Structure 1
Amino acid sequence: MYFSIFCFNWLIFLIFICSFIFALYRKYYSFVLLLSVLAIFFTLIKINNQVKMSQPLPKLSQISPIIDSIQVNGDLLSFQGKNKAQKYQVYYTLKSPKEQRFYKNLIQNCDIYFTGNVEFPEQKRNFNGFDAQKYFASQNIYAQITIKDVKRVELKSNFDVHLLRRKAIVWAQNHFPQPMSDYLTGLLFGFLSKDFSQMSDIYSSLGIIHLFALSGMQVNFFIVFFRKLLLRLGMTQESTRILQVPFSIFYACMTGFSISVLRALFQKNIRLSGLDNIAATTLILMLISPKFLLTTGGQLTLLYAFVLSLLTSHFEQFVGLRKLLIESVALSVVVLPLLIFDFHIFQPFSIVLTVIFGVIFDSFLLPLLLGVFSLSLLGLTINLNPLFRLLEKVVLHLDSFLHYPFVLGQPNPLELVMMLALGGLLIDYFSKKKRRWSLILSLILLFFFSKNPIHPSITAIDVGQGDSILLQDTFNQENILIDTGGRLAIPEKSWQQAQTQTNAEKTLIPYLQSVGVSHIDQLILTHTDADHVGDFLNLADKIKIKEVWVSSGELTDSSFLAQLKAAHIALHLTKVGDKIPIFKSNLQVLSNGYTQKGDNNDSIVTYGKFFNKSFLFTGDLEQNGEMKLLKTYPNLKVDVLKAGHHGSKTSSNPKFIKAIEPKLALISVGKNNRYGHPNQSTLKTFKKYKVKILRTDQKGAIKLTQINHQWQITTAK
């Protein structure tokens, strides 16, 4: 019912209807009444969301930051703020080190007066990609503010729970060095600074980043600690239970009211057991935070809790270490479908690592950090940074051995439901050997089809102002990537340097992993411009690459040559006529450059005729290069053209377009790019020769899928 209302899907709706009919048949009238009330409640919330999204954006000049949401990352400031009870996501580029220090150490509520723009968050631009609009809407944020200039900041004297948490975070950051301060704020207050992003990626790759997502482990530690303390002080059991409630509220405040903490606290304080406890907790969470199941964190924390409650009753025959390992494996198997739906990767060693690091974090680091932080409030600061540097060395060493997790792709809704159902049945029938193995084999088969697409496709991935095109054969038999995208690095002063994701980490890599690409057979780097090859090393760090194809002209660029050497990947110098087998045909090199300088007209040009349609990929080839190509191949005809140089006026010569007669032009270009691409003269040329245009700045990623001998076009937007 919940997902049928908030994000309609026919399969989910059918499951709900069948469940509803079953409830009526069994005369569960109280259950039906509850569903009806909740359905009205959720429908009203969705209507309210739609009304807010349809309203015109206001013009704002003042915002009140939610003080504990402030993040300073180099010269980038971000926070959530309020204006007239409406929440906004706010971004600002700091102007000086003085301004940076002010916001890093800000421990007073304030009002910021500014000039800037108010706009809707960006919708997803790639298939299976991050949708900022949906993400922020789940937090009741419908617009974002980009501040151009801060006019003034008015400090206020009012106090609230957010301010108390902020003071604790700033205290820890100022009194303890990194990385110790990051572990302290992460494990005690649920706050990880942007400076920790590199280690966060490594913990994520190892499958143990959830140890920083405060939930049952931390809640159990603090509640048990609190109860033992009161009992030692002579309190009765009944008094302790009563005082546990306000302490739970206080702890929720200090951890930012995260859903995982609230879920664990409700479970700890509700005097019910098993599935009754889960049911009551879910209903309360739905009432106080109706959108919590629209977030990945909300879905995972509830699923983990639900499965753990089932495991307790299903594996009572096992004891000790064997029981711990079996329960850990069962938990991972059941939760895995939702994990790969959101993150597309799985580290099989995460099961063992979770057990080991869970003990380290829960039994050692958490009480140690609590004690150290408490002593610092009394004036005694203990520096344990060598311990945390040692921990990170161990984690980095593990990552060097387990660097590439399994890429399993994103299951479709039917596959996801079937995986979850089979996982549940596996727990139920675990003791019955024949059924157990048939269920395991069925799950493996589903994971195989989730990872390996049955239809070949060509995708112009939206990497902003750049190029990246994936040719993916059936069942991942062959994966060819043409360029990686990237951004031109602008020199910055030390205080401005921010820990940010590369363009590939936000766009290219998530898409490749979502369609099950764990390796690239041939990476063709057309020329040395940063918007085509800038993210090459970042890609190689996440996805295995068998061979890189370059031209001899590209090797004249010393910085590019250094990247190739650093990657330690087999290199192939392209020659005219080189072929790569794919789609029961070949991708052929028509040109390996005309200038021998690695510039635009030195772009590697490739061509292929796939399933009765011809494709031409030209990199940044300009008009001079196009005419030379046409001279070499006077009879060249094309159905789909990847327009040269992002639709610039220096490319797409009218004579060239007239000669090759393309039916469709794909223009890979950044939204609102500073170059003004695509140029109007180029668009007029395509219009004149009746060429259909699809642009990534307007449509997001563009995918051509071969189904029943026809190329079908879909776009991300």
Structure 2
Amino acid sequence: MERFSFGVLAAAMLALWLEQLPPVIPLAILFCAALLCWRHTALYCGALAYLLSLSLQFAWQMQSVQQIVAEHSTEVCGQVVSLPRQFVESSRFILQLSDDCAEKQQIGAGGRLELRWYANAGEILPAIKAGQHWRLPVLIKPVRGLANPGSPWREANALVDGVLAVATVSSATGARLLQDTPSVRQQLADQFADCCLQYAAYPLWLALTIGERPFSAELWQGVQHAGLAHLLSISGMHIALLFALCLMFKPLLAQLGLREPWRSLSLWSLALGAAWFYAALAGFAVPTLRAVLTLSVVVLLRLLWHRASIWQFSWLVSACLLLLWPFLLLSFSFWLSAAALAVLALLEWQHPQQPGIPALLRRFLLFQCGFSLLLLPIGLLLFQGIAPFALWVNLLVLPLMTILGIPLLLLLFGIMCLGFSVAPWCWQLLDALYWPLLWLLDWAGQADGWWSLPALPWQNALLLLPALLLFWCCRGRWQLAAAALWLPISLPILLSDTAHDVSDAPLQLHILDVGQGSAAVLQQGDAALVIDLGPAYGPVSATRQVLLPFLRYQGIRQLDYVLISHDDSDHSGDWPTLRARYPSAQLVSDIRRLAPRFHCTDLPKQWRGVRLQAIRAGSYRPEPANEDSCALLLDTGHHRVLLPGDIGAREDALAASTGPVDVLVLGHHGSKTASSLRFLQALQPKLALVSSGYQNQFGHPAPETRARLSLLQIPLLNTADSGYIRLDLSDTTVRYQLFRPRRFARWLENSVTDAETVVANE
């Protein structure tokens, strides 16, 4: 069984690097042939079993996606399986497809749709509840997330969660509520909100009980900076904690007169049932489902009196999860949990439990330090950064939450679930208990609590692990060897934080993937200049969801200027949110309601050696529209880059003010009314970029614009296809890198060359 488990894990690692998944039929034949010689080929059987499971499930997923997306405009039936996120003008929820519509077969039944319902003018959306069955007319699109460094991989997450496509309700009049039976989870969530919504700690309580995280942007930033995301979401730790609390009822069962083996059977069944109920309350999110499946294997082995070492158990559980759920290889949390389980096994072997309170405290400190150090390479590899507060914050908060905070919350919530009333003073005392955690998260959110290391090669992160293992597990001369190994690997990490002090830091222009909108960042070291903030409407804010995480990921601490080209929501974004994070940033714009002090042309003529020219093609307007956009010309001495905003009809005046350029960001997202043939001939760009949404309703970039670029042999890069685009402007040639093709799992993303060179103007 160990060899079989090794084969499964090895195949999962290999699958991350495959260009294409192997076909199902040859894999099945090889697997059947390997079974005939199981004794000698268990390793190969495990590898083939995983690849076969992955290929089969991926083929079914892609077939269902193609069928349902081909419908485009259709009616779907299903059950709401998530707690809806209700806003004033929209609602978002997950719909699990089912054959509720008797008149036609539901394509992709059993799969899920990520649904969005927008209210028309004067329309009031119905109250969507989890558990309801709906028949809805929808427009369907494939899942396509924004691809930026430091942002979630939406396509991979959709595979893990079983989401087939994204759908938008096309007509409220055609929607039909087939069955109005809210789920138990929805009823408990409503009951919890009625009694506890007014308490400051309610968002944390909701995250720890129902699995929903209605965190503000400031609170979520504090959670990330403090390294407490694992504590404030229902995960394996919380499931295991509840499981352990249930095992404490063993003396009670003994007093009831139960004898072995019935006492152990009842105790383990009770604990496992409570764990499954807790996971159900969290909506069977990926971490919770993974945790209860692991505990189920533990209980099964216990009841069968099968003894296995923690190493054997770790390999077996990981292999079983991957076979049942092969898309877990795309989940960062799975690999983090697998690494944490391995670290736990190592620490348990090195520091066995001893009696006494001092020994217990010493063991807790050693485990926390060991986890923080030994998981450091995995965190660097997966998240390209470090939360420096994580170690001591966990040492302060984890005992308080584990011993008091979470058990008391689960106790009060359990009493409420059983139908009993909880006195208000109980919730008030619990709120006071959580006050230090809230204060700590608020402080961490305002502090510079994230060390971003995006330039660290992944090989360096992996090579840190052997050095840490030698240092932690060995003594004497082996620790000296670990220090010698650590120094050349960690030196780039130690020096990376001082890169912003170097005057010759590379100059880069980042074109962010914000969908149908525009946002760009000119960066040198830890300082930057931002041009446009991306779209913001309703609950969607690219400023908060894309731009701010990117600035943090890049380690940008100093934001000097923010230029907003004109007053359209796909460019003007969410300035108050950005200003709250960078209060010293100066906003330069013609939009008077946002920038009463500085006009467009007040932008400095130079920034860190780059000549800046802000150009207003028309006359000044306090609420500038498309043609009044403030264009920006960047001149590094080697390269000239033009960002024209949404200018179209006034392109001739703009061209007269700029002259030839090396790189052109197409105006108005590549609209057919912009980037005329005469304009392109006047600028003579060697490379054109466009920021547009995937399958956007406007058809940008327009076929006419593509034809003009093709006629002049100007290559075009589109964020809808390539994701985020980085231009390196420090060299004599313009080098660009595309983000989307550089991800793992090439079989999920199209493989495209990730770096090209364009000859600069002489």
The normalised TM-score by structure 2 is 0.75
Q: Distance in 1 between matches of 2:12 and 2:652?
A: 55
Q: Distance in 2 between matches of 1:156 and 1:623?
A: 53
The correspondence for 1:414, drawn from 444, 454, 459, is 459
After superposition, the Cα gap between the structure-2 partners of 1:375 and 1:682, relative to the gap in structure 1 and judged at 3 Å, is: closer
The secondary structure found in structure 2 opposite 1:86 is: coil
Q: Hey, what does 2:45 align to over in structure 1?
A: 37
Amino acid at match of 1:265: L
Q: Hey, what does 1:399 align to over in structure 2?
A: 444
Query: Could you report, residue by residue, the CA deviation over 1:420-446 in whole angstroms, capped at 9, with x for unpaired residues?
Result: 444434433466552343354345335
Q: Distance in 2 between matches of 1:95 and 1:558?
A: 27
RMSD: 4.0
1:263, 1:301 within 8 Å by CA — same for their partners in 2? no
- The structural deviation recorded for 1:78 is 0.4
1:219, 1:264 within 8 Å by CA — same for their partners in 2? no
- The structural deviation recorded for 1:181 is 5.4
Does residue 468 of structure 1 match 2:523? no
Q: Hey, what does 1:424 align to over in structure 2?
A: 469
The secondary structure found in structure 2 opposite 1:558 is: coil
What residue ranges of structure 1 are gaps of 5+ in the alignment?
A: 11-28, 491-499, 565-570
Query: Could you report, residue by residue, the CA deviation over 1:488-541 in whole angstroms, capped at 9, with x for unpaired residues?
Result: 546xxxxxxxxx462133333344444x33334543414343433423443455
Query: Could you report, residue by residue, the CA deviation over 1:600-659 in whole angstroms, capped at 9, with x for unpaired residues?
Result: 54515223246x5432333344543x44454455xx322211223333456435444322
Residue correspondence of structure 1 range 66-145 to structure 2 within 5 A:
67=81, 69-74=82-87, 75-83=90-98, 85-93=109-117, 102-104=127-129, 109-127=131-149, 129-145=151-167
Does residue 435 of structure 1 match 2:470? no
The secondary structure found in structure 2 opposite 1:93 is: strand
2:532, 2:565 within 8 Å by CA — same for their partners in 1? no
Does residue 8 of structure 1 match 2:17? yes
Query: Could you report, residue by residue, the CA deviation over 1:671-693 in whole angstroms, capped at 9, with x for unpaired residues?
Result: 45455544555545444544333
Does residue 618 of structure 1 match 2:644? yes
Query: Could you report, residue by residue, the CA deviation over 1:163-212 in whole angstroms, capped at 9, with x for unpaired residues?
Result: 555554444344443556544443245x2154677644432332112113
Residue correspondence of structure 1 range 594-613 to structure 2 within 5 A:
595-597=619-621, 599=624, 600-601=627-628, 603-609=630-636, 612-613=638-639
Does residue 232 of structure 1 match 2:252? yes
2:587, 2:595 within 8 Å by CA — same for their partners in 1? no
- The structural deviation recorded for 1:91 is 0.9
2:603, 2:614 within 8 Å by CA — same for their partners in 1? yes
2:534, 2:570 within 8 Å by CA — same for their partners in 1? yes
The secondary structure found in structure 1 opposite 2:128 is: helix
Amino acid at match of 1:558: R
Q: Distance in 2 between matches of 1:238 and 1:138?
A: 39
- The structural deviation recorded for 1:92 is 3.5
Q: Distance in 2 between matches of 1:488 and 1:197?
A: 15
Residue correspondence of structure 1 range 193-208 to structure 2 within 5 A:
193-194=213-214, 199-208=219-228
Q: Distance in 1 between matches of 2:242 and 2:298?
A: 11
2:511, 2:726 within 8 Å by CA — same for their partners in 1? yes
Does residue 365 of structure 1 match 2:405? yes
The secondary structure found in structure 1 opposite 2:726 is: strand
Amino acid at match of 2:484: S
What residue ranges of structure 2 are gaps of 5+ in the alignment?
A: 1-9, 20-36, 100-108, 302-306, 741-762
After superposition, the Cα gap between the structure-2 partners of 1:683 and 1:216, relative to the gap in structure 1 and judged at 3 Å, is: closer
Q: Distance in 2 between matches of 1:594 and 1:295?
A: 50
2:588, 2:602 within 8 Å by CA — same for their partners in 1? no
After superposition, the Cα gap between the structure-2 partners of 1:575 and 1:219, relative to the gap in structure 1 and judged at 3 Å, is: closer
Q: Distance in 2 between matches of 1:344 and 1:187?
A: 27
Q: Distance in 1 between matches of 2:340 and 2:114?
A: 32
Amino acid at match of 2:134: I
After superposition, the Cα gap between the structure-2 partners of 1:225 and 1:128, relative to the gap in structure 1 and judged at 3 Å, is: closer
1:484, 1:535 within 8 Å by CA — same for their partners in 2? no
Q: Hey, what does 1:261 align to over in structure 2?
A: 291
1:172, 1:181 within 8 Å by CA — same for their partners in 2? no
The correspondence for 1:65, drawn from 70, 79, 87, is 79
Amino acid at match of 2:85: V
Q: Distance in 1 between matches of 2:492 and 2:39?
A: 33
Q: Distance in 2 between matches of 1:671 and 1:286?
A: 32
Q: Distance in 2 between matches of 1:199 and 1:521?
A: 22
- The structural deviation recorded for 1:369 is 2.1
The correspondence for 1:314, drawn from 350, 355, 363, is 350
2:666, 2:688 within 8 Å by CA — same for their partners in 1? yes
After superposition, the Cα gap between the structure-2 partners of 1:518 and 1:237, relative to the gap in structure 1 and judged at 3 Å, is: farther
The secondary structure found in structure 1 opposite 2:308 is: coil
Query: Could you report, residue by residue, the CA deviation over 1:228-283 in whole angstroms, capped at 9, with x for unpaired residues?
Result: 32422324464343224433145224313424522662575455343233223223
Residue correspondence of structure 1 range 502-581 to structure 2 within 5 A:
502-514=541-553, 516-520=554-558, 522-529=560-567, 530-541=569-580, 547-548=585-586, 550=588, 554=590, 557-561=592-596, 578-581=605-608
Residue correspondence of structure 1 range 148-159 to structure 2 within 5 A:
148=170, 149=172, 151-155=175-179
- The structural deviation recorded for 1:361 is 1.9
Q: Hey, what does 2:34 align to over in structure 1?
A: none
1:408, 1:513 within 8 Å by CA — same for their partners in 2? no
Residue correspondence of structure 1 range 237-386 to structure 2 within 5 A:
238-247=261-270, 248-256=272-280, 257=284, 258-262=288-292, 265-266=295-296, 269=299, 270=301, 271-314=307-350, 319=359, 321=361, 323-376=363-416, 377-383=418-424, 384-386=426-428
Q: Hey, what does 1:696 align to over in structure 2?
A: 719
Q: Distance in 1 between matches of 2:674 and 2:75?
A: 43
Q: Distance in 1 between matches of 2:289 and 2:205?
A: 20
Query: Could you report, residue by residue, the CA deviation over 1:560-591 in whole angstroms, capped at 9, with x for unpaired residues?
Result: 44xx9xxxxxx998658822235xxx343264
- The structural deviation recorded for 1:124 is 4.8
Q: Distance in 1 between matches of 2:374 and 2:40?
A: 28
1:278, 1:306 within 8 Å by CA — same for their partners in 2? yes
1:642, 1:667 within 8 Å by CA — same for their partners in 2? yes
Q: Hey, what does 1:187 align to over in structure 2?
A: 208
- The structural deviation recorded for 1:358 is 1.6
- The structural deviation recorded for 1:302 is 1.8
Q: Distance in 2 between matches of 1:167 and 1:430?
A: 56
Does residue 222 of structure 1 match 2:242? yes
2:388, 2:449 within 8 Å by CA — same for their partners in 1? no
Amino acid at match of 2:682: A
Q: Distance in 2 between matches of 1:617 and 1:117?
A: 33
1:465, 1:673 within 8 Å by CA — same for their partners in 2? yes
1:415, 1:450 within 8 Å by CA — same for their partners in 2? no
After superposition, the Cα gap between the structure-2 partners of 1:572 and 1:395, relative to the gap in structure 1 and judged at 3 Å, is: farther
Q: Hey, what does 1:497 align to over in structure 2?
A: none
Length, aligned pairs only: 658
Does residue 667 of structure 1 match 2:712? no
Q: Distance in 1 between matches of 2:488 and 2:80?
A: 48
Q: Hey, what does 2:5 align to over in structure 1?
A: none
Query: Could you report, residue by residue, the CA deviation over 1:97-122 in whole angstroms, capped at 9, with x for unpaired residues?
Result: 99877534x5xx55322211333211
Amino acid at match of 1:303: A
1:547, 1:572 within 8 Å by CA — same for their partners in 2? no
1:461, 1:469 within 8 Å by CA — same for their partners in 2? yes
After superposition, the Cα gap between the structure-2 partners of 1:382 and 1:536, relative to the gap in structure 1 and judged at 3 Å, is: same
- The structural deviation recorded for 1:88 is 1.1
Q: Hey, what does 1:494 align to over in structure 2?
A: none
1:459, 1:469 within 8 Å by CA — same for their partners in 2? yes
Q: Hey, what does 2:667 align to over in structure 1?
A: 644
